[in-house]
Amino acid sequence: MFKPYGIITPVLTALDDNENFNETEYKNFIDHLIKSGVHGIFSLGTNGEFYAFNSEEKLRIIKAGIEAVDGRVPFYAGTGCITTKETVELTREVSSLKGIDCLSVISPYFTAIKQDDLIRHYNAVAECTDLPILLYNIPARTGNNIDYKTVKTLAAHKNIIGIKDSSGNFDNTLKYIENTDPRLCVLAGSDSLILWTLKAGGSGAISGCSNVFPELMSSIYNYYVKGDFEKANEAQKKIRPFRNVMQMGNPNSVVKRAAQLKGFKVGPARAPSNIESKEIDNALLEVFKQYE
């Protein structure tokens, strides 16, 4: 079964000035990321604004991602929606496409649900596809945390191959690593915890910051696997100033603005999440000097 590893970029979805999908620039940006050394590309993650697109747009974005990656690195596609019905329908459609290595499925969001509800939801998704599935835990955005006991139960599905933990709670990550199923891969979802997740037994990270600093973020993993923990730690610490700026607004919108300021034609975030702030722009330009 497929095993996710390394630094995977939840690629920004390029839009034009009218907020329509810009396929050409999307493919160009993916090509840049791969040539910069990332280990995987993930279409329609949080940084890809999955929540902002309808099903037709999502399919077009995923198809463009498949074409851009062209088998050079593993390709991940996000299919999680609010309801089980919608998630299953999108997952089935996406599963019919060739060129996808793994699906990422965020837990249902906005609605208050319990662990039993999560189990039923993921059971239905796992049973509707043969593709590997990576669970996606981001309680600050969804309002629910996927308990490690729930993950252990869901591991009965062989195509559920791991989980991305964006809780920011390292103890939560450790519970996934230590108390679920040894075959499951655990990925850091918080860029500040990449090296520590690797040291604890995780297999990599889905790194929003790698949209802006792909070489730096990839080096954390590359140094780690070479056994050069000192350089891995230096690279890990170096991302802190940028992450501090991310807290000045919607984090993934700040990441997109940063990519724009670095000259990439990814366009605005879809309203109302677009950032128009001289304060944030100035902070980004100032922090970029630390990475020269």
Q: Which residues are catalytic?
A: 136, 164
End-to-end CA distance of the chain: 40
**Computed from CA positions of residues 3, 155, 205, 251, in that sequence, does the dihedral angle turn out positive or negative?**
positive
Q: Select from 114, 121, 165, 118 the least CA-distant residue to 140.
A: 165
DSSP structure string for 91-160: HHHHHTSSS--EEEEEPP-SS---HHHHHHHHHHHHHT--S-EEEEE-HHHHS----HHHHHHHTTSTTE
3-state secondary structure of 2: coil
Q: Select from 162, 102, 112 the least CA-distant residue to 137.
A: 162
CA 167 – CA 268 distance, rounded (Å): 26
Beta carbons within 8 Å of 137's beta carbon, 6+ residues apart: 107, 145, 146, 163, 164, 165, 166, 167, 172, 189
Cα distances (angstroms) measured from residue 259 to each of 11, 111, 209: 11, 32, 10
